Amino acid sequence: MNKPLSSIVLKEIEERYLFGILKNITGERVGGISLTMLRGDASDRRYFRVGYKTQTPNSVIIMVLSNHYNGELPFINVQQHLKRCGVPVPEIYHYDKERGFLFLEDCGDTTLEEWLKGKDIAVIKEYYKKAIDSLLNIQIKGSDGNIGDCIAFGLKFDVEKLMWEMNFMIEHAIFGLLGRRIDDGELDIMREYLLDLCSILSNQKQYLNHRDYHSRNIMVKDGKLMFLDFQDARMGPCQYDLASLLKDSYTILDDKLVDKFIEYYIGSKEKMEGETINRPEFIRIFDYMSIQRNLKAIGTFAYQKTVKGNDRYMESIPPTLKYIKTNLEKYEALSGLKGLLYKYLL
């Protein structure tokens, strides 16, 4: 939900300043400015909707960066790359580097999560297939360096990055949220099992990944999908974003429907790349990636609660733990990790 703007923010974003920026964006004088703080994501960025009047009511979004950048802003770099690839992303109208303000196209308030509530199965299938089509565009066309350079090409879900996320989960979920302690021997063993998992994942073929490709970062505007929160894009297994979408902590899909969407993804990918995909192996890596991705999400949710005092994500922990349990049960090779996670987390 949106909430009223505080007096502190009113001092930060002066009305006269906004009039000038909006005049440059629209090419005409505007009136009737309103400013509303929006509920953000799990990051430290803040968002505001600026309403204004020209011939008809209009609005833009201000993203207030948590840090100031001396070099190229990742959000702008990735936005330009995705735009070149034909991915529907919000337009960037103005970047005030000194203040750390990005003025963006307003994609509305309707997330895919909200849009699908109460919809029949035909609509759910239609929109998930659209999301998968765009994902394949990001991964295949977006990974092509001939289209243009992207800052994400220099970043990878390597073992170090994947393990950092696992250690973050241990610290904030097991130690922090649950208040449990693991003796040094078992902690070392748990990390060894997690390291084995991360090593397998890091050795997969690399594709451009959005990195947070789920139902709260996909907007539905005029019936069409638009994609947000792509500034942390990096290279990784193609299953990473697919797991984010289909093993989503916020929108829970029926298992049979997930299987159908995986097959749709594989079939479409085969047509685009002209190569046959080993389905059992693809699904094994998908399940492994889901475990890692969901464990990472548990760490984020726990951090938001214990460090930030934010309860918003607590309701998403049970379904995310269920995903992890289901996938751990499938593979004998993960029995050691399963035993320790059941003892301390699950």
What per-residue confidence (pLDDT) applies to 12? 54
Q: What is the mean pLDDT of residues 109-120?
A: 95
With a pLDDT cut of 70, the percent of the chain lying above it is 95
What per-residue confidence (pLDDT) applies to 57? 62
Tell which phi-psi region holds residue 88, choosing left (phi > 0), alpha (psi between -120 and 50) or beta.
beta
What per-residue confidence (pLDDT) applies to 3? 41
* Residues contacting 23, CB < 8 A, separation 6+: 29, 30
Per-residue pLDDT at 11 exceeds 80: no
Per-residue pLDDT at 8 exceeds 80: no
Quick one: how far is CA 22 from the chain centroid? 29
What confidence category does residue 40 fall into, taking pLDDT thresholds of 50, 70 and 90? low
Per-residue pLDDT at 7 exceeds 70: no
Q: Are 296 and 164 in contact (CB under 8 A)?
A: no
Question: Alpha carbon of 259 to those of 11, 225, 279: distances in Å?
Answer: 51, 22, 11
pTM of the model: 0.92
What confidence category does residue 162 fall into, taking pLDDT thresholds of 50, 70 and 90? very high
- C-alpha to C-alpha distance for 142 and 84, rounded to whole angstroms: 9
Q: Are 176 and 302 in contact (CB under 8 A)?
A: yes
Q: What is the mean pLDDT of residues 248-273?
A: 97
What per-residue string of b and e applies to 76-108 under the rule 16 or more CB within 10 Å gives b?
A: ebbbbbbeebebbbbebbebeeeebbbbbebbe
- C-alpha to C-alpha distance for 90 and 107, rounded to whole angstroms: 7
Q: Are 55 and 69 in contact (CB under 8 A)?
A: no
The residue among 55 and 291 whose pLDDT is bigger is 291
Q: Are 221 and 228 in contact (CB under 8 A)?
A: no
The residue among 305 and 71 whose pLDDT is bigger is 305
What confidence category does residue 16 fall into, taking pLDDT thresholds of 50, 70 and 90? confident
Express each pLDDT in 223-257 by its tens digit. Answer: 999 999 999 999 999 999 999 999 999 999 999 99
Extract the runs of DSSP E, i.e. beta strands, from 177-251.
Answer: 207-209, 218-221, 224-227, 234-236
With a pLDDT cut of 90, the percent of the chain lying above it is 81
Q: What is the mean pLDDT of residues 91-113?
A: 94
Per-residue pLDDT at 5 exceeds 70: no
Express each pLDDT in 283-314 by its tens digit. Answer: 999 999 999 999 999 999 999 999 999 999 99
Question: Which residue has tokens 């021997």?
Answer: 185
Domains in the chain with CATH codes: 7-105 (3.30.200), 112-344 (3.90.1200.10)
What per-residue confidence (pLDDT) applies to 180? 97
What per-residue confidence (pLDDT) applies to 6? 43
Mean pLDDT, the chain, rounded, equals 92
- C-alpha to C-alpha distance for 186 and 182, rounded to whole angstroms: 6
- C-alpha to C-alpha distance for 333 and 193, rounded to whole angstroms: 10
Q: Are 198 and 292 in contact (CB under 8 A)?
A: yes
Residue 5 DSSP symbol: P
Per-residue pLDDT at 55 exceeds 90: no
What per-residue confidence (pLDDT) applies to 34? 87
Question: Within 10 Å of residue 299's Cβ, how many Cβ atoms?
Answer: 22
> Hey, is 235 helix, strand or coil?
strand
